[in-house]
Structure 1
Amino acid sequence: MKYVLGLALLAACALFGATENAQADIVILKSGGEVRGEVVNADEASPERFTIRLYSGGELEVDADQVARVERQRPLVEKYEQRRGELEDTVEAHWEMAQWCRQNRLRAQREFHLRRVIQLDPDHAGARRQLGYKFDQGAWKTEEEIERAKGKVKYKGRWRFPEDIKLDEQRRETERQRKAWYKTVGMWASWLDDHRAQQARTNILAIEDPLAVDALVRRLEGEDELAIRKIYAKALTNLATTDAIRAVVDYSIEDEDRDFREYCFDLIDTNKPEPAFEMYLAVLASGQSTNTEINRAAIGLKYLGNAAAIPALIDRLITVHRIKLGGGPAGSTTTTFGRSSNGSGGTGFGTGQPKYIKKEFTNGAVLDALRELTGEDFGFSVNAWQAWYAREKSRKRGPRLNPRRD
């Protein structure tokens, strides 16, 4: 039997359809109700009416202008709707249904039945746990209730303290700005080869943001032209952060270009950045430093003019290094302490293998730094320098600096 659903009967039939065993489709009405069944003509482009075949038998026709939408159901949902229509409203029935929904990955339906279980039995532990509740301080609480009680908020799927979130956001913003400087410095670097060179130089030397250090160091590493390298080195010295000064100190010691090394020393001499002192001192004291590196570190310490370097300079006035003969660059050296494991002064590795010998070096730049800092000159006599320093310390005012220094 087929008949047209009139306005007066529409709400009643919609209510009836909602309680009947479910069909393949759900017809959502503009009035707020719904009718469940199989929409026979659902594939028509613009039907004037929807024909609905009910599970209980018979068909209904609903004017299209009374329908908000039609929701097509997949077979598994149809099966669920049929089971739900036969379900008793008990704890056991809803719990069993929730487990069936879990096996069939019907999440929303599973949650519906779990929540019905705890409505009927508030202390049902299984349903509580599956809904995410935890037994805390004598009561069942949701994760949200527990975490909010700790002062946490949910952020990107995780419960976190607001101060930690703020720190993370600050770190991300810092990294964003750091990366932005790569782009900006790169743009100015491209200007250095054309008519905008003076503007580029002005812009680079005017940088005041410490977050630009990495971009400047990267540019310096990849640059060969001396004039441009000097711009980057000066910009780093102007910033005067620890990382910026470390780059200038490293270049003053390690760079192969003598002119650029001397320029870096000029920057150190002019600006006397505080972080440079410990950096040069570390190179001077390191057992891995070559005598070349020791002498260059001494030059930096001389320019800094800090009397605290005097004991370390005295200690490194004469150093012993291992020199590799054969199997590598001639004259390459490393600092050594003590004797080799067999008690000899050198180590051979057989025919064709490199041989190491120990050699004593007097470090001229170290002596020059001592003369400059103290106004004294005991040559390379370590004992004489140590005796002088001991006398100066006994005066309880520390060693006197050279009064002739600027």
Structure 2
Amino acid sequence: MRRNRTATGGAWVAALAAVLVGSTGEAQADQVKIRGGGTLHGAVVPIEDRPGYVEIYTATASRPYVFRRDQIEQIVPEASPMDDYLKRRQTIEDSADAHFELGLWCEEQGLSGPALVHHGRAVELDEHHALAQKKLGRVFFDGRWITYDERRQLQGLVKHGGRWVTPEAKEDLNEQQRMTQSQEAWARRIDLLVKTFLEGAPADRAEAEQQLRQINDPDAVVPLVNRLGRQGVELRLILAQLLGTIQDPMADSGLVHLLVREEDRQVRLTMLNELARRQEPTVVPKLIRELSKPDPDRVGRAAWALAGLGATEAVPKLIPALVSVQKRVETVLVPSEPVGGGMGMGVNFGASGGPAFGFGSGPSIPVLTGPAVAPGAIAFGAQAVPIFQYRGQGTGVVVGNVGGVTAPVPAPPVPRQVVRPYQHRNVEVLAALERLTGENLGYDVSAWNRWLRTEFRPPAEEERPARLVPQP
């Protein structure tokens, strides 16, 4: 064999770099015929620590193919871009720009595997090589280069089925996927009833509502929550009352699931009344678990429900939820490098001594200002930014007499997205603590913890009040 290279295990990029970048020996592309059928085009490299085995590196594969020598029927040398590449990489300067340029050439020749190797090497040599970072699929965010997936995670999203969604949306999607065959049948029937209720004649609407209210099968709970939970207030009120009549733990879970996400106070109070009336022992633990969720609105509604149920045992869990650290994405303006002349805005002082303002060829483009993340929603804004800010050219101010003297000034600031933490004070949690304890220590978590250690006495089971709340 004409090559003798060692390439074992490890990341494919490291292996490919060792064979294709670190080597200085002779190599070329081959047409490799595999016994039993099939042909590969690439470089054949023996594996020194596995006698009788070879690796075949191709232009596009993410990993080398491994074969026994006796599986290779014939190797036919052939001309390909790999020949030229192997010559180029032997003389390449070990600098970020040189590796990046070779990576671009590899892309033009269809050698995507070696292209990634050289873009990766460029980033190793210069972490701030923006063009190479972008070739690797990374974006500059919050002062560092991260992948697209990492950026989505910072924005509070999670992956589901190849798509980035909010945690609440993922939870809903998972529930839909868990539906049994019986639940799917109920889902089809409920869809028809909801359509009739929303679009039918008055008599048909009344009949659809009556049929909805008569549902008491536990298998219908998940379809009811998924279908009616996204409808208007009227249907959500029917849903709350309907779940209260279904005697099954799934109905309790459904009420808690809806309550902590419900924005309408009347609907939420109806759900709380149903939970109080049922007196199920699993409800309070479910609500307490909601206090650890990252969504402050969801935490606040759980605290409100615990106070309404008189759940004094929740006090130790409410105190840590008083103040939470949240994150939000903001766009800030940061200084750019000072440059002189070129396109931009100029101030000219002529013979009269008066300034005359003028604009060069600097059109503006819309630039996203970054997402504002809130529970269950992401909003984007935009602002107009002159193109010269992104070409590295700043604002020149022409100052002088008739002779015209030019002096550069710093370029205008450029927008940059950053993630900033902030402390969120949960009003509903404080209100729940005051209602359950009769104390008002504000948002001083340390003071609440001292009070908890010295004065808090949870009531015995027989002393706890009945968990009833005023009817709406």
TM (norm. structure 1) is 0.44
Higher helix share: 1
Decide which structure has the larger Cα Rg and report it. Answer: 1
Structure with the higher strand share, 1 or 2: 2
Larger relative contact order, structure 1 or 2 (CA cutoff 8 Å, min sep 6): 2
